[in-house]
Amino acid sequence: MIASPILDGIRILDMTSVIFGPYCTATLAEMGADVIKIEPLAGDEIRRVGRPAKTRGMGPAHMTLNRGKRSVVWDLKTPRGKASLLRLLARCDVFIHNLRRDAIERLGLGYDTIRALHPRLAYVHCTGFGEGGPYSGMPAYDDIIQAASGAASLLPRADGNPAPRYLPMAMADKVAGLHATYAVLGALLHRERSGQGQAVEVPMFESFTHFLLQEHLYGRAFIPPTDAAGYPRQLDPLRQPLKCLDGFIAVAPYTDERWVRFFEVTGHTDFLEQEKLCTARERFHALDRMHAEMARIVANKPLRYWLMLFAECDIPASEARDLEGVFADPHLAAVGFFEHGTHPSEGGTLRMRLPVRFHGTRPAEVRAAPHLGEHSEEIDAWLDAGDKPR
């Protein structure tokens, strides 16, 4: 028997915006949660990012980050808007927001107030910096977190250009969004075990720094330090996609056995002999030389030749594609990663399915990304009637 979606019956009141919180709640919606997004009168800023296909406020990032949700517009500074939100909270399992503490307190929606009304509620605060530190309450954006965490120093250490640079994606926002996702699930599990809700803080700075330093803590893992921070393998300037005759290829022999096999199958075992790299330890300390030689070797033949050879010999390799090339990937096509759909107003859409698969449960039927305030009347009528919305 196939069970309902994994979060079927869980209702989430979402007052987050842009990427951090919305990525979390979009993930939960794809797991079957009923996510009701409360937006300001002007709507979430992410609606205005990029060119909408047809309708104002239906930008491409909104189509991805707010898919699966219902949109309600209430003015929370009015008695009616606040009363509606409190009534809705009484029927929710989770309240998640990214307002700064002083702002949420001014609205009368701080944790202590809400806990007194709804002691079983999971109250999740997506914030820039954790409480108790000197940055607490300061605004935070992806660029700020990449700079503060040291992430902007990684590319200079790899390529020699001393100018700090951001990794070209909303890395900190999305990583923090995944931390928020497990935070919600953990709070719900706690409630099931204890019968009580709780407050959960998800600070972006700490979340991203925790993610970044899993390998880059490196020698600072010991007291006193045995080496500087920064995992050398990740910072090796030679560890990059390699130029071949008609494109670029990523090759990752990684283990010593595969490095030896690489030189064998390419007909260059003489390199190891000439360089006196006869043991695993000697080869480990000569990775820079081996990377340089690998680059010289692959430059002489076309991409497809190397991909076929390395596949036959179990040496991990991939074409180094641009973003557009990903949409033609045969593996993603075979597993149904990209899905074609039709939005009621925007027409044809391309979306990504949830990468995690829960076997034994049916996938959730995910709503199209909503128009601003599309579900305000529906939710108002439901709250007035006391019935479950359709």
pLDDT exceeds cutoff 90 at 1: no
Which one, of 288, 245, 240, 296, lies nearest residue 268 by Cα?
296
Residue 387 binned pLDDT confidence (cut-offs 50, 70, 90): low
Q: Mean pLDDT, to the nearest integer, of 120-143?
A: 96
> Which domain CATH number covers 61?
3.40.50.10540
Question: What CA dihedral angle connects 252, 258, 264 and 265, to 10 degrees?
Answer: -60
Residues 252 and 123 in one domain: no
Question: Model's pTM, two decimal places?
Answer: 0.94
Q: Mean pLDDT, to the nearest integer, of 64-90?
A: 95
Residues 294 and 349 in one domain: no
pLDDT score for 385:
87
Specify the number of domains making up the chain.
2
Residues 147 and 84 in one domain: yes
pLDDT exceeds cutoff 70 at 257: yes
pLDDT score for 337:
96
pLDDT score for 256:
95
pLDDT exceeds cutoff 70 at 390: no
Residues 20 and 116 in one domain: yes
> Which domain CATH number covers 309?
3.30.1540
141-162 pLDDT per residue, tens? 999 999 999 999 999 999 989 9
84-121 pLDDT per residue, tens? 999 999 999 999 999 999 999 999 999 999 999 999 99
Question: Which of 137-150 are b and which e, b meaning 16 or more Cβ less than 10 Å from the residue's Cβ?
Answer: eeebbbebbbebbb
Q: Mean pLDDT, to the nearest integer, of 334-356?
A: 95
267-297 pLDDT per residue, tens? 999 999 999 999 999 999 899 899 999 999 9
Residue 324 falls inside a structural domain: no
Contacts of 190 (CB under 8 A, 6+ apart): 122, 196, 198
Residue 218 falls inside a structural domain: no
Which one, of 202, 39, 17, lies nearest residue 126 by Cα?
202
Domain limit, last residue, from 268, 284, 319: 319
Which one, of 162, 11, 151, lies nearest residue 89 by Cα?
11
Q: Indicate the helix (H) or strand (E) that contains 199.
A: strand 198-203
Residues 31 and 82 in one domain: yes
Q: Mean pLDDT, to the nearest integer, of 357-368?
A: 92
Q: Which domain holds residue 144?
A: 11-212+331-385
> How far, in Å, CA of 207 to CA of 235, rounded?
22
Mean of pLDDT over the chain: 95
pLDDT score for 388:
54
Residue 220 falls inside a structural domain: no
Residues 191 and 80 in one domain: yes
Residues 203 and 344 in one domain: yes
Residue 233 binned pLDDT confidence (cut-offs 50, 70, 90): confident
Residue 224 falls inside a structural domain: no
Residues 167 and 262 in one domain: no
Q: Mean pLDDT, to the nearest integer, of 306-323?
A: 96
pLDDT exceeds cutoff 60 at 389: no
pLDDT exceeds cutoff 80 at 251: yes
Q: Mean pLDDT, to the nearest integer, of 4-12?
A: 96
Domain limit, last residue, from 286, 319, 352: 319
Residue 229 falls inside a structural domain: no
Higher pLDDT, 389 or 383: 383
Residues 208 and 81 in one domain: yes
pLDDT score for 51:
85
Residues 305 and 353 in one domain: no
191-204 pLDDT per residue, tens? 999 999 999 999 99
Residue 77 falls inside a structural domain: yes
Residue 32 binned pLDDT confidence (cut-offs 50, 70, 90): very high
* Longest CA–CA separation in the chain, Å: 83
Residue 142 falls inside a structural domain: yes
Helix crossing, 20-30 with 171-194: angle to 10°? 50
pLDDT exceeds cutoff 50 at 206: yes
Residues 308 and 355 in one domain: no
Residue 326 falls inside a structural domain: no
Residues 84 and 202 in one domain: yes
pLDDT score for 210:
98
> How far, in Å, CA of 239 to CA of 235, rounded?
8
Q: Mean pLDDT, to the nearest integer, of 182-210?
A: 97
